[in-house]
Amino acid sequence: MGINKYEEIAQAAIKLFERKGYHATSVQDIADEVGLQKGSLYHYISSKEELLMKITQQSINGFNRRMEKIIESQVSSKDKLILAIQHHVTYVARNMEMTTVLLREAFSLEPDHHKVIKEETDRYLKLWTTIIDEGVQADEFKPGDSRLIALAILGSANWLHRWYQEGGKMTPEEIGNYFAQIFLEGIKK
Amino acid sequence: MGINKYEEIAQAAIKLFERKGYHATSVQDIADEVGLQKGSLYHYISSKEELLMKITQQSINGFNRRMEKIIESQVSSKDKLILAIQHHVTYVARNMEMTTVLLREAFSLEPDHHKVIKEETDRYLKLWTTIIDEGVQADEFKPGDSRLIALAILGSANWLHRWYQEGGKMTPEEIGNYFAQIFLEGIKK
Amino acid sequence: MGINKYEEIAQAAIKLFERKGYHATSVQDIADEVGLQKGSLYHYISSKEELLMKITQQSINGFNRRMEKIIESQVSSKDKLILAIQHHVTYVARNMEMTTVLLREAFSLEPDHHKVIKEETDRYLKLWTTIIDEGVQADEFKPGDSRLIALAILGSANWLHRWYQEGGKMTPEEIGNYFAQIFLEGIKK
Amino acid sequence: MGINKYEEIAQAAIKLFERKGYHATSVQDIADEVGLQKGSLYHYISSKEELLMKITQQSINGFNRRMEKIIESQVSSKDKLILAIQHHVTYVARNMEMTTVLLREAFSLEPDHHKVIKEETDRYLKLWTTIIDEGVQADEFKPGDSRLIALAILGSANWLHRWYQEGGKMTPEEIGNYFAQIFLEGIKK
DNA sequence: AATGAATGAGGTTTCATTCAT
DNA sequence: AATGAATGAAACCTCATTCAT
C-alpha cells in the first residue's frame, strides 16, 4: 500500500464498484478513498472506464490462467474437473470483490471493451467444455451436453460471490470439494 | 398493452434496466420508450426507484409463489426438487429481462427497499432447503449441507439469465430436466 | 425578446462569443446572460458547439443569400460589384457581432461542422469571382486574376468587423461606396 | 534549434496557437511538442499568457519596424505605399502562423497586455495614414479619407493569412505587386 | 535543468424531479 | 392526463500552475 499508487487506486475502485456498483460510484468516491483530489486521479488513470476495464481484465485473466494450467496437467479428466471446481471456487472466495465486479459490472463497459472481456469469458467456458468432452471420451463421464454441464457448474461456482462470507463454517476448499462431489455423484441416495 | 399505462411503463423499465442497467437508464429513456414526456411519467410513478422496487418485488414474488405451491404438493421430496428446478429454470427463461433486473439490479435499491427484497430472497432460499432437508430425512437424498446444495442449484439455475437464448436447441423444460438429472445423479459414469 | 427563448440564447451566445471568444465563453456565462440555470439551457440546445454552428451558419447564409440576388439582377457587372461591396459592408456593419463570430470562431468548430461552413464560404467567394470574370468578359474590368481581386475586396470588407463603430462619421453605406470607388478607380491621381 | 530552448518553446506555441487557437491549446500540448514535461516548461516561461504576449509583440514589432524604415526612405509617397504593401504582404506570407496568432488571438490577452498590443497596432495604422496623407499633399493620391484607405489596404493584406498557401501560382512578391496595382489604379477599364 | 505528483477551480453535460399551465 | 420549462445537484474530465525532489 502506498508504493504503487495506481494499484492503490485500482483497489479502491474494486472495493467501491463492488459495494455501490460502477455507475453509482463517482470518481469523487474513489478519490476520497485514496485521499487524493478528484483531478489528481487523472495522473494515474485516463478514465473511470479504464479502471473498470483493467479490473475485469485482471479478473478474467486470473480465471483463464489457472484453468490453462489444469488443462495441461497430466491427470484424469475427473481429477481435472475436480481441480477446476476447487480452483474456481477458491479464486472467487479469495477475490470476492474483484469477481463481483467482473460478473456484475463488465456489461457496463463500452462495446469495444466489453467485446474483449466477452471473448475471454467465452474462452474460459470453452476450457471447461474441453475437460468435460475429454472425460466423456475417456468414459469417465456420462455422455451429455458438455456446454450445459459447464454452464451448470459455472453457475454454481460463480454464485458464490453472492453468498460466501469469510469465517463461515466451511473453508473455500471444503466448499469446492463439496461442489465437486455434488456434480460428480449427485445428491440422490 | 395501452389499457394499463402503469404496466406499460413497467415493461419499458424492465426492458431498459435489463439492457442498460438501472443507473444507466434515464427517466427520459423510459419516457421515450412509452411515448410520453419525462414529466408525464410522474403521473404514474413517484420515482425511478419505485419502478425498480416494483419490478424486483414482482419478480421475487413470482419465484416464491410457485415454490410455495410445490412445497404444499403431495409428492416425494425428490419429485418436489425436480419440480422446483424445472419451475425455476422455465421461469427464468420465460422472464429473462425481469429476472436479470432482479438478480443484477436489486442491490441498487435504497437500503429500506433492498431489505424487503433481501427478506424475500432469503425466504425463497429457505423453501429450497426445506425440500432438501425433508428429502434427507425421508432417505431420498444423501445427508449433506442443505443450504450449500440449495445454493449450488440456485446458482446454476439463476446463471441461465446470462446465457439462455430463445430458440436454442433445448427448450427451457429440457434444460430444467437436464439440470435436475445432473444434481440428482451427478455426471460421473 | 422573450417570445422565442432559443433566439434569446443565440443572441446571448453571439454577444459573448464576440466579446470573449468561443472557448473563453462558458455555458455558465450564457446561462447568466439569459437568466437561466446552466442545466436549463440544455432544454434548448444540445451542446455549446451547436450554438456556434447555428450562428456561423446563419451568418454565412446571410452573405450568400444577398449575393445570389445580386448575381441574378439585370445590371452591368460593374454595378453588380458595387452592389456586392455595398451589401457586404453594410451587412458586416449591421451584424458586427455575428460576423465577428463567423470570421474569428468558425475554425473552432469540429471538423464535420467546420467543413460545412467552409463549403459555404467557398461558395461565397465563387460568387464574387463570377461577377469579376463576367465584368472582364464584358470589357468592364481590366483582365486580371479574379480570385485575387475577390480576395482583396473581401479582405477589406471583412476587416470592417475589426474597426467599424456605429455612430462614426461615415455611415455603412458611405463606407461601402467609398470602398467600391477605391477598388474601381484606385487612389492614384 | 535546441540552442535556445525558449525560442523552441515559442515556436511550438506559435504553431499550436495557429492550428488550434490559444484557448484550445493546452500547456501539455506545448510541452509535448518540445518534448518536455508540463512542469518543466515553467523553467522557461512564467505563464501561458506570457507566451502569447511575446508572440504577438514580436509579430507587431516586425510590422512596425519595417514600416518605419519605409517612412524614412527618400522615395515618392506612391513608391512608399507600394513598398509598404509589398512588405506587409510578404511579411504575412513568410510568417503565416505568427501573423495568424497576432490577428486572431491577441484579443485573448489580459486587458493590460492587450492594451500594449493595441497601441502598437494603432501606431502601425498611423504610419500607413501618414504615407497616404503625404501622398495626397504631394498630389500623388486623390484627396480622400486616409484612415479608411489604410484600413481598406490593411484588410486586404491581412486577409492573406486566411488563404495564402506556399507554392501557389503567384509568389508573395507578385501578390504584393498586384495588390499595390489594384489600390493605385483600380480594376475598372 | 527537469520531473511528475498534486492541486483546486472550472469546464460541459446529464439527470431525477417539480410544477404551472 | 399531459406538457415542457426549470431547477440544482452532481456527473466526468481538463487544465494552468506549483513545488519537493
User: Reduced to 3 states, what is the DSSP secondary structure of residue B43?
Assistant: coil
Q: Which residues, by CB, come closer than 7 Å to strand F? A: A 25-28, 38-39, 42, 46-49; B 5, 36-40, 42-43; C 5, 36-40, 43-44; D 25-28, 38-39, 42, 46-49
The mean predicted confidence, pLDDT, of chain C is 97
Interface A-B: count of C-beta contacts within 8 A: 111
User: Does residue B144 sit at the A interface (CB-CB below 8 Å)?
Assistant: yes
The CATH number that domain B1-45 falls under is 1.10.10.60
Q: Which residue of C has its CA nearest to D147?
A: C163
Q: Tell me the CA–C1' distance in angstroms for B9 and F3.
A: 18
Please answer yes or no on whether A183 and B186 come within 8 Å at the CB atom: yes
User: Does residue B187 sit at the A interface (CB-CB below 8 Å)?
Assistant: yes
Cα–Cα distances in angstroms (integers) from residue A174 to residues A80, A87, A159, A161, C154, in the given order: 17, 11, 16, 16, 85
Tell me, what DSSP letter sits at residue A75?
Answer: S
Tell me, what DSSP letter sits at residue C3?
Answer: S
DSSP H helices, C35-186, are 48-72, 77-94, 96-100, 111-137, 146-163, 172-185
Nucleotide nearest to C30 (CA to C1'): E12
Mean pLDDT on C75-79: 98
Q: Which grid cell sits at D166?
A: 506556399
Strand partners, C188: D141
Residues in chain D: 189
The CATH number that domain C55-185 falls under is 1.10.357.10
Mean pLDDT on C44-70: 98
Tell me what pLDDT residue C189 has. 87
Q: Which residue of A has its CA nearest to B82?
A: A188
Domain D48-185 adopts which CATH fold?
Tetracycline Repressor; domain 2 (1.10.357)
Tell me what pLDDT residue C74 has. 96
Residue D128 neighbours by CB distance under 10 Å = 23
Strand partners, A141: B188
Instruction: Express each pLDDT in D157-187 by its tens digit.
Output: 999 999 999 999 999 999 999 999 999 999 9
Closest approach of chain B CAs to the CA of A2, in angstroms? 31
The mean predicted confidence, pLDDT, of chain D is 97
- Residue D90 is which amino acid? T
How far, in Å, CA of A33 to CA of A9, rounded?
A: 8
Tell me what pLDDT residue B3 has. 64
Question: Is pLDDT above 70 for B52?
Answer: yes
Q: Where in chain C is the domain with CATH 1.10.357.10?
A: 55-185
Phi and psi of D143, rounded to 5°? -60, 145
Which residues are CB-contacts of D39 (< 8 A; sequence separation ≥ 6)? none
D26: left (phi over 0), alpha (psi -120 to 50) or beta: beta
| Residues of chain B contacting A151 with CB distance shorter than 8 Å | 156, 159-160, 163
Chain F bases closer than 7 A to any CB of the protein: 1-20
DSSP H helices, chain A, are 5-20, 27-34, 48-72, 77-94, 96-100, 111-137, 146-163, 172-185
Q: Tell me the CA–C1' distance in angstroms for C34 and F5.
A: 14
Question: Is pLDDT above 90 for D1?
Answer: no
Q: Which grid cell sits at D87?
A: 512588405
Instruction: Compute, in degrees rounded to 10, the torsion defined by CA atoms A55, A58, A63, A68.
Output: 160
How far, in Å, CA of C48 to CA of B127, rounded?
A: 57
Which residues are CB-contacts of C42 (< 8 A; sequence separation ≥ 6)? none
Contact A28, A67 (CB under 8 A): no
- Residue B161 is which amino acid? H
The rounded radius of gyration (Å) of the Cα atoms in chain B is 19
Q: Where in chain A is the domain with CATH 1.10.10.60?
A: 1-45
Q: pLDDT (tens digit, 0 to 9) for every residue of chain A, 189 residues total? A: 456 999 999 999 999 999 999 999 999 999 999 999 999 999 999 999 999 999 999 999 999 999 999 999 999 999 999 999 999 999 999 999 999 999 999 999 999 999 999 999 999 999 999 999 999 999 999 999 999 999 999 999 999 999 999 999 999 999 999 999 999 999 998
Instruction: Express each pLDDT in C97-148 by its tens digit.
Output: 999 999 999 999 999 999 999 999 999 999 999 999 999 999 999 999 999 9
Please answer yes or no on whether A163 and B151 come within 8 Å at the CB atom: yes
Contact D73, D83 (CB under 8 A): yes
Write down the number of H helices and E strands in chain D.
9, 0
